[in-house]
Structure 1
Amino acid sequence: MTALADGPRRFMVRCDQWFERARASLLGNLPCRRGCSRCCIGPFAITRLDVASLQRGLTSLAPSVRLAIEVSARSQVEAFEAVFPRLKADTALDRWSDHEVDELVERFQDLPCPALSEDGSCRVYSFRPVTCRMMGIPVEADGLVAGACAVQTAVPVQRVPLILRQEEQRLAEQERAELEVCLGATPGLGEEVLLPYGFLPDRNPLTR
């Protein structure tokens, strides 16, 4: 298995630091708490960087816990592939249209993350994907601010300072650069896969 390089690790630390600064700027109006798992339900895309991190996290778990996560992930993957058989040959989402991805996500919107424990906590929290690390901060588009999830609509939604939005953009650029390094000589492999595939080393060429 390919270990997570220093560059991606530093990048994920920067994402965590950004989240904490953004949280502080919201003056307590962020409902995200340990055990709140509303955003842990339903599949979503993760990058190959996230896959490497998840695989590293799995190796840190007790064998029984790791097996339970992998069994759950494999069950979800089998369900995906029964409806969308093209995933059997190619797990990358890069060649899917937004409409096709949305169709899959909507169809399986009730599936919990394979790493979600019964008490609502994450069993691979320190190795979670970038999307999970930055989820919860209100989103902004075309000058409008909205809650990041349904839970967030119950509290005041505030605008994150511009300097943090600018840093968020720089993080996106760094992620792109780290992905290019990660893919190396195999750019055709694709950058993104669905979350459950990230827990299965045999379905990820870069982590075999």
Structure 2
Amino acid sequence: MALDLKEHFVKYEALVEMVDAIFSRVKTEYPKEVFCREKCSDCCYAIFDLTLIEALYIKDRFLKKFSGKPKNDLIEIADKTDRALARMKRDAFMEVRKGADELEIVGKMSMERVRCPLLGKDDLCVMYESRPITCRVYGIPTATAGKSHICGRTNFKQGEPYPTLNMDKIYTQLQLFSAQLIQDIHSTNIRMHEMLIPVSMALLTDFNEDYMGIKKNG
């Protein structure tokens, strides 16, 4: 990935720092409720996608951290994971086409468990320092589209009042970062910022100029 995205990554890292501060504050205020600890890998089996800025960031950090056999081994794992996710999404799409309730299918998908390709054999994230925002907030109460979410391993009680992180605002900011990036690189794919990319696909994708829709001189 030859693109220079440092300025965009700095903005993303500032958002990550803010999110980490929120998590730390909630953990300090509710030490008995927040269960997160080393080798608790519950969130590492959750299915979620990355915004474009997150996908570019994690791929950049992946290439800087790994090379040779370790890199190839992780790419192989990511490929297997991505194939499994593709099958699940295809099956879900077919169910909806046959008349199944879309919200019900989405709910079923959210309950599926797929091991993250970045989860090591020792149940530790091999890119913990660069993990996505979704991973960073998994152990505290969050809300998306007006619905609250809590990790099943925490001691937070559903329905009780707790500080809750509004993920819609976080996702909006990530989309804005992605849109600004697409504008700044003069991509012909003007709606590319709307992409949602699984971690596995982010590791497999070559985010080169052709992929990003950048016209070459001449």
TM-score, with length taken from structure 1: 0.73
* 1:72 counterpart residue number: 77
Tell me, yes or no, if structure 1 residue 183 matches structure 2 residue 182.
Answer: yes
Deviation at 1:141, TM superposition (A): 7.8
1:98: Cα distance to partner?
5.7
Tell me the residue number matched to 1:36: 40
Task: Kindly indicate whether residue 196 of structure 2 is the aligned counterpart of residue 197 of structure 1.
Answer: no
Measured after TM superposition, the shift of residue 41 of structure 1 is: 0.8
> How far did 1:66 drift?
2.2
Residue 149 (structure 1) aligns with: 151
Aligned-pair distance for 1:192?
A: 1.0
Change (3 A) 1:135 1:183: farther
SS at match of 1:149: coil
SS in 2 for 1:43: coil
Q: CA deviation at 1:195?
A: 2.5
Q: Following TM superposition, by how much is the alpha carbon of 1:139 offset from its aligned partner in structure 2, in angstroms?
A: 3.5
Write out aligned runs for 1:20-169 (5 A).
20-63=24-67, 64-81=69-86, 109-139=112-142, 148-152=150-154, 155-157=155-157, 159-161=161-163, 165=165
Identity %: 19
Shift of 1:123: 0.5
Cα deviation per residue 1:50-91 (whole Å; 9 max; x = unaligned)? 111211221232423222221111122233445656xxxxxx
Secondary structure of the equivalent of 1:151?
coil
1:17 to 7, 18, 21: 21
Change (3 A) 1:192 1:145: closer
- Provide structure 2 residue ranges, at least 5 long, that are not aligned to the other structure: 91-101
Give deviations 1:96-138, integer Å, cap 9, x for gaps.
x7666556555xx332000001121111111111111111102
Number of residues of Structure 1 aligned to a counterpart in Structure 2: 190
Aligned residues of 1:138 and 1:159 also touching (Cα < 8 A):
no
Larger RCO of the pair (alpha carbons < 8 Å, separation 6+): 1
Return the letter of the residue paired with 1:78. R
Change (3 A) 1:9 1:165: closer
Match of 2:93? none
Q: What TM-score do the two structures reach when normalised by structure 2?
A: 0.70
Greater shift, 126-135 or 193-202, is seen at 193-202
Distance 1:124 1:207 in 2: 28
The RMSD of aligned alpha carbons is 3.4
Q: Could you say which residue in structure 2 is the equivalent of 1:91?
A: none
- Distance in structure 2 (CA, Å) of the matches to 1:197 and 1:17: 29
